[in-house]
Amino acid sequence: MSMIVNIDIGGTFTDFFVSQDDGTTHLTKFPTTHYDLSVGFLKGIKALAKMNGQNMTQFLNNTDSVRYSTTIGTNALIERTGPKLGMITTAGFEDTISLGRSRSWADGLSSKENKDMARINKPKPLISRDMIVGVRERVDSFGNVISPLNREEILEKLQILVDRGAMGFVVCLLWSFMNPDHERMIKEVIEEEYPEDFLGSMPVTLSSDVSPKSAEYTRFITTTVNAYIHGVMAAELNKLGVELRDGGYKKPLVLVHNTGGMKKVSRTRAILTHNAGPVAGLHGALTIGQVYQADNIIFTDMGGTSFDIGVITGGRLKTYDFIPVIDRWRTNIPAIEVKSIGAGGGSIAWVNELMDNSLEVGPHSAGSMPGPACYDQGGTLPTVTDADMVLGYLNPDNYLGGKMLLDPDLSHQAIKEHIADPLGIDTIEAAIRIRKIVDARMGQEVFNEVALKGHDPRGFILFACGGAGATHVCGFAPYLQVDKVIVPNYSPIFGAYGASTVNCQQVWEKSRSMKIFQWNTQSYSQDFDNFNDVVNTLKDNAIRDLRLEGFEEDQIKLRLELDMRYGMQYNLTRIVSPHINIASDQDFKEICDKFTELYAAIYTPEATFPMGGINVESFFLTAYVETIGQTIQQFELKGENPSDSSLISTRPAYWSSKSDFIDTPVFAFSKLEAGNKITGPALIEAKDTTYVIEPEWQFSLDAFHNTILDRI
């Protein structure tokens, strides 16, 4: 029996989801071991093997694929634990990453932090100025060599960087995305001078490989970030690969990408692993949404550290982040847009003395170590989980299916000491305020994310995922006025489930400006060859890449997306091209019509201006092989009334609409059957989450064992 193992490492918990070829699934979660991520990783693998009645070696021998959403690279960037890098650039442009752009002061900061002008600081570059050297060379905007590159100068500047301690090299030359020959020449020289058997391997990262797009600042930064996290990831993943092989796993480790796909470790650019877990979750929501014929979905995932938000429209993941910011760095990777804010179960509540003692929740988190105060692992600061404990929503003896025992007295003590006493209120009132603040913040952020993209949230289905999603969705859903909420059966480990649904794919991109509708003649371009040359180059690279993954050419599907704009505009709009290659001016017309249609939908028809000309600025070719996902099991519908055995106890819980604690029925999720309905107030305890059903809501378990929440 073969299996696919999917792992998603979060800030607080590491989630595991296993699907077998007979339809059987297993899931579990363990606290993330930040000191060594492989420790929590292997604990989960051993637990899954035990669930399957096997030892670890037997389990891994029967595993076809291990798919991994990792935060290794992101953590290295935040903690600044990457290697010392040297940069080689075009002479005269050595200060590009230091100067940055005016927005670099604000990139990666919250709106609140941006308003605090007295404390805001420009981020310190990942490569210090003394580790950046320039070489005399020049390629023009058409890719023509104006000034050739001298080998002796490369050797001279290379020696300077090595003497200063460089452990890797970033090569970023002007216009290299039009002609990469000079960058490739520098790489050849470095690899000749420092082969792997001499002083170890010194990785060389070329901007023409990582980010073959215009705009040198974002291209330089994207390449630098990729090189910075590459070294740390390589060491961690090599270690993990050795441990898996020793345990009996013989296949390549697969990494999930923020482009919505996955690739082998050996063929993955490090920067594409950033935020991969939430993107995988968004893909999982798309997969489950197809069962309900839902084209418009709001995806939310409330974990221990963050609250992730994604939007699906028209049944596709088509919203790319216009300016993906990783930590404090503006990049240009083709990542699916998922917004994350610091609002999770571990988010710390605190009193802001600088703002008239206002109560704040987040963005800082207690993480997994020490965690919320009730974890009894040394944490003393109050969190959202502690507020939920004080209000009676969580069972201290049945947290994570009983794997963790919580101490409610520590929650009371932390909230009293740090919130209630400074504000002059009682502990219960402080817990109520913590919960209301975090729910309001999440609801407002979700509303903004949907409404500011031109959509009405009331026309969407809300997905509530993550370990704390079911606990808080009745609190933030009213801000959206949605008709239906779905809490998937796999919601506590939804990032890991989502990894099981993604395709093997890669996005190949290239900047090339061309006018496909001429403003002066009001006619469509006849330059088909220029367009097709770019596409065919990307197509050749993409097909070769996926063939190296082990797929045949007839399995590979292609999708072309274009960044387009009206003449003289700055901002770009990305469309899915109706044609891969161009054979006539009618094909260009259909591309322009698609652009105008999308532009009108976003900015209103009055904003369209085709008379000003229409340009294509960048090409994005997605090559993918569709994954045969886990079949969603369907159950026979039973009666609406739950069985007597499903009601396991009652306990006092606070309900805002009643303004009091009420003795509330507690149900066991595992004993509920498809078709059962429960009207709030109620608490439903599952293995890895707790459903908090407010008095105005009705819970029902549908034929797929997904929870449907309807507001009464």
CATH number of the structural domain spanning residue 62: 3.30.420.40
Residue 174 amino acid letter: L
Residues 92 and 215 reside in one and the same domain: yes
Cis, peptide link before residue 324, omega less than 30° from 0:
no
Is the separation of the CB atoms in 120 and 113 below 8 Å? Answer: yes
Q: How far apart are CA 398 and CA 406, in angstroms?
A: 9
Per-residue pLDDT reduced to its tens digit, 464-496: 999 999 999 999 999 999 878 999 999 999 999
| Non-local CB neighbours of 677 within 8 Å, separated by 6+ positions | 640, 641, 698, 699, 700, 701
DSSP-H helix ranges across 500-584:
528-548
Residues 554 and 621 reside in one and the same domain: yes
Q: How far apart are CA 60 and CA 5, in angstroms?
A: 9
Domain assignment of residue 61, yes or no: yes
Number of folded domains in the chain? Answer: 5
Residues 96 and 163 reside in one and the same domain: yes
Domain assignment of residue 271, yes or no: no
In this predicted structure, what is the pLDDT of residue 629?
63
Residues 131 and 69 reside in one and the same domain: no
If DSSP codes are grouped into helix, strand and coil, which group holds residue 177? coil
Residues 240 and 224 reside in one and the same domain: no
Domain assignment of residue 290, yes or no: no
Which residues of the chain are under the pLDDT cut of 50?
199-200
Q: How far apart are CA 265 and CA 257, in angstroms?
A: 11
Listed residue (582, 535, 583) closest to 558, CA to CA: 535
In this predicted structure, what is the pLDDT of residue 646?
94
Domain assignment of residue 492, yes or no: no
Residues 14 and 150 reside in one and the same domain: no
If DSSP codes are grouped into helix, strand and coil, which group holds residue 437? helix
Single out the residue in 625, 652, 679 at which a domain terminates. Answer: 625
Q: Which residues pair with 262 in a beta bridge?
A: 256, 504
Residues 56 and 85 reside in one and the same domain: no
Residues 177 and 152 reside in one and the same domain: yes
Q: How far apart are CA 149 and CA 181, in angstroms?
A: 10
Domain assignment of residue 560, yes or no: yes
Residues 191 and 106 reside in one and the same domain: yes
Residue 355: domain span:
349-436
Single out the residue in 625, 659, 685 at which a domain terminates. Answer: 625
Domain assignment of residue 330, yes or no: no
Is the separation of the CB atoms in 26 and 7 below 8 Å? Answer: no
Residues 617 and 508 reside in one and the same domain: yes
pTM: 0.88
In this predicted structure, what is the pLDDT of residue 656?
87
Q: How far apart are CA 264 and CA 252, in angstroms?
A: 6
Most distant CA atoms of the chain, gap in Å:
83
Residues 20 and 116 reside in one and the same domain: no
Domain assignment of residue 321, yes or no: no
What CA–CA distances, in Å, run from 163 to 133, 159, 183, 534?
A: 13, 6, 21, 40
In this predicted structure, what is the pLDDT of residue 630?
64
Domain assignment of residue 688, yes or no: yes
Residues 153 and 216 reside in one and the same domain: yes
Single out the residue in 436, 451, 470 at which a domain terminates. Answer: 436
Is the separation of the CB atoms in 496 and 15 below 8 Å? Answer: yes
